[in-house]
Structure 1
């Protein structure tokens, strides 16, 4: 699958409409009870990139980005303004925002994750497109130095330590991240007249597995 490590212009994605979706299979039994199951371990996000367009210059930038991605062929990064940090949007990223693993004295690589909790339930989301330079890491709440004690692959979200964390130590991280997406259409229709009248094109974008 082709993927370009480039972010859709953040000022154009600001104000976009979208969010996570799930796939649930529901079977109603003869007694009226339901059986519910899902074939998806992880949710998939959808957005409308057209909502953030505010000028004809924005339309031109969108078309250039669309053409460079060859429509649906190449994926790209997308900033979800409603969910782009390891912490609440109003807070500052710290190295203890998310637990990403526990040391065993051997493992040196850990994938970034973000955990969503509500009541007694939780969902652990893999983070595969962290923003370069934003990742902070700690072992047993002791901050580590990037480039010296650990490295991060911004294309996969894997943190690798120079030496394995000790057995039983908590490995945590904080970060900003993008969503890997592609355009969900091979056609964009725009009109100068309609855009000036306040009408904007619909440009569907969908998350991809990488």
Structure 2
């Protein structure tokens, strides 16, 4: 995957429209009962950046970004303002926000995840594009120091410990993160007169797998 480690202009993405998409296959039996299944282990997010355009300067910035990415060719970072950190939107990030797993005394390389829990259901979302200087890590409730106790692979969203966490020790983390996306079109059509009249162009984006 061709990926440019640059974030789409956050001021434009702030007012954008989008969120997670699932693919569920539903078969209705002759009895009226349903069989439901999914081929996707993870959701895939879609956005429309056009909704966030507020001025012709925004349009110019969008076109420059689009051209520099080669349209659909290169993926990039996107800040989803509705879901961009490990805690609640109103809370401050803490090293205890998300449980990554429990040490086994041998594994030193751990992926960042965000856990979504509701009732008996739960989903662990891989976080592959954490934001630099926002990640906090703890083992057994003890906050660790980056560079001494662990290093980060910001391109893959992985924590590499200097020493594998002890068996049974809870590994937790807090962080901000971006979504890796690409343009879902190779064409952007904008009319200045239409834009001034309030007609917003559609600029679809789609999440890419790392």
**Aligned-residue offset at 1:70:** 0.4
Distance between the aligned counterparts of 1:28 and 1:198, measured in 2? 43
**Aligned-residue offset at 1:30:** 1.2
Secondary structure, in 3 states, of the residue corresponding to 2:59?
A: helix
Distance between the aligned counterparts of 1:130 and 1:60, measured in 2? 28
Secondary structure, in 3 states, of the residue corresponding to 2:20?
A: strand
Q: Which position in structure 2 is the counterpart of 1:58?
A: 58
2:41 matched to 1:41?
yes
**Aligned-residue offset at 1:200:** 1.6
Secondary structure, in 3 states, of the residue corresponding to 1:51?
A: helix
Count how many residue pairs are aligned between Structure 1 and Structure 2. Answer: 210
Q: Which position in structure 2 is the counterpart of 1:147?
A: 147
Q: Which position in structure 1 is the counterpart of 2:18?
A: 18
2:87 matched to 1:118?
no
2:159 matched to 1:159?
yes
Residue segments in structure 1 that go unaligned for 5+ positions in a row:
none
Deviations 1:78-114 (A, max 9, x none): 0000000000110000000000011111111100000
Distance between the aligned counterparts of 1:14 and 1:64, measured in 2? 18
Q: Which position in structure 2 is the counterpart of 1:31?
A: 31
Secondary structure, in 3 states, of the residue corresponding to 2:146?
A: coil
Secondary structure, in 3 states, of the residue corresponding to 2:92?
A: coil
Q: Which position in structure 2 is the counterpart of 1:175?
A: 175
**Aligned-residue offset at 1:199:** 1.6
Runs of 4+ in 1 over 2 A off after TM superposition: none
Distance between the aligned counterparts of 1:28 and 1:196, measured in 2? 48
Q: Which position in structure 2 is the counterpart of 1:187?
A: 187
Q: Which position in structure 1 is the counterpart of 2:89?
A: 89
Deviations 1:30-79 (A, max 9, x none): 11100000000000000000111111010000000000110001000000
Task: Using structure 1 for the length normalisation, give the TM-score.
Answer: 0.99
What's the C-alpha RMSD, in Å, of the aligned pairs? 0.6
Q: Which position in structure 2 is the counterpart of 1:133?
A: 133
Q: Which position in structure 1 is the counterpart of 2:107?
A: 107
**Aligned-residue offset at 1:177:** 0.2
**Aligned-residue offset at 1:148:** 1.2
Distance between the aligned counterparts of 1:114 and 1:132, measured in 2? 17
Distance between the aligned counterparts of 2:182 and 2:61, measured in 1? 16
Deviations 1:171-199 (A, max 9, x none): 00000000000000000011111111122
Q: Which position in structure 1 is the counterpart of 2:207?
A: 207
